[in-house]
Chain A
Amino acid sequence: MLVVARKSGQSILIGDDIEVVVIGIRGDQVRLAIKAPRSLIIQRRDALEEVQQDNLAALTAADDVFRLMGNSTSDSPQKTGTGPRVVTKPRPPSTR
């Protein structure tokens, strides 16, 4: 691991075609500009963690959300004959 101090406007080069420029420092926040080939995936770790947590939250909340819409998950096809329908291609968004 390399630890290096940078001032605003300074940059580091990683390999031949990646440049990370410090474009601003404000309080505890640093703004970085990353110049890299488009094929390279640049990700924010906090965003990945947030989305992962929220996927699991959505999983846990699904039944509550469904009930909030006025449904019951006991409306299975076997019980009512009006169960869920498989969607192969959703309708285009309504224009209302």
Chain B
Amino acid sequence: MSVKTEVSVKEFDTTRFGRLSLPEEAVIHFPVALLGLDNRHDYCLLEHDNMAGFYWLQSLQDPAVALIVTDPFRHIPEYEVEIPDSQVELLRAKDPSDLTLYTTISMAADHSQVCTNLLGPLAINHEERVGTQIVQHGSNYTCRHTLAMRQPVEKV
């Protein structure tokens, strides 16, 4: 019997960043796929220059699937998320502090601002490397909450 000492490394292709490799412990498993993104269950978080506070959530199974996510509390301190017991169990969280919340980013209609999805936040237990999307059925939040972005000011 041989004992493996080196860290297990996973290699995968991405359309945006080419071939990437990462340690096995950076893989986040989504047992229930994100809505509309069936069959993509493994992701990793990537950060990039000029993206402070934002991350790429990159699929390991589909090179083209990557979403930009953020920590919503950086932008909306009063944001509230309800996590049903069944989801707490799925995420193997013993305490709320085990979970990190993210919301996805998309483009606002006028294409000069971005908005974030407060209706369907993602919760990740980084310790257990498991995540899920938790639709806030009891809330009035929308998918298109505009985020103020620091923009170069154009004077007319």
The residues of A with any CB-CB pair to B shorter than 8 Å are 38-39, 41-44, 47-48, 50-66, 68-71, 73, 75-78, 82-90, 93-94
Contacts and interface: CB of A to CB of B under 8 A. Distances in A.
B51 A52 contact: no
Contact of A51 (B114, B119, B126): B119
Interface string B45-62: 111111101111000000
Contact of A93 (B17, B74, B119, B144): B74
Contacts of B83: none
Contacts of B104: 54-55, 58
A58 B84 contact: no
Contacts of B17: 73, 76-77, 83-84
Given A44-B137, A54-B143, A77-B17, A62 B74 contact: no
A88 B120 contact: no
A38 B22 contact: no
21 contacts: A51-B133, A52-B36, A53-B36, A57-B143, A58-B106, A59-B67, A61-B106, A64-B107, A68-B107, A68-B114, A69-B50, A71-B49, A73-B17, A76-B17, A76-B18, A83-B18, A83-B48, A87-B47, A87-B55, A88-B26, A90-B126
Interface in B1-48: 16-18, 20, 22-23, 25-26, 34-37, 44-48
Interface residues of B, number: 54
A64 B142 CA distance: 21
B35 A51 contact: yes
B67 A39 contact: no
B65 interface: yes
Contacts of B149: 68-69
B23 A50 contact: no
Contacts of B130: none
A65 B68 contact: yes
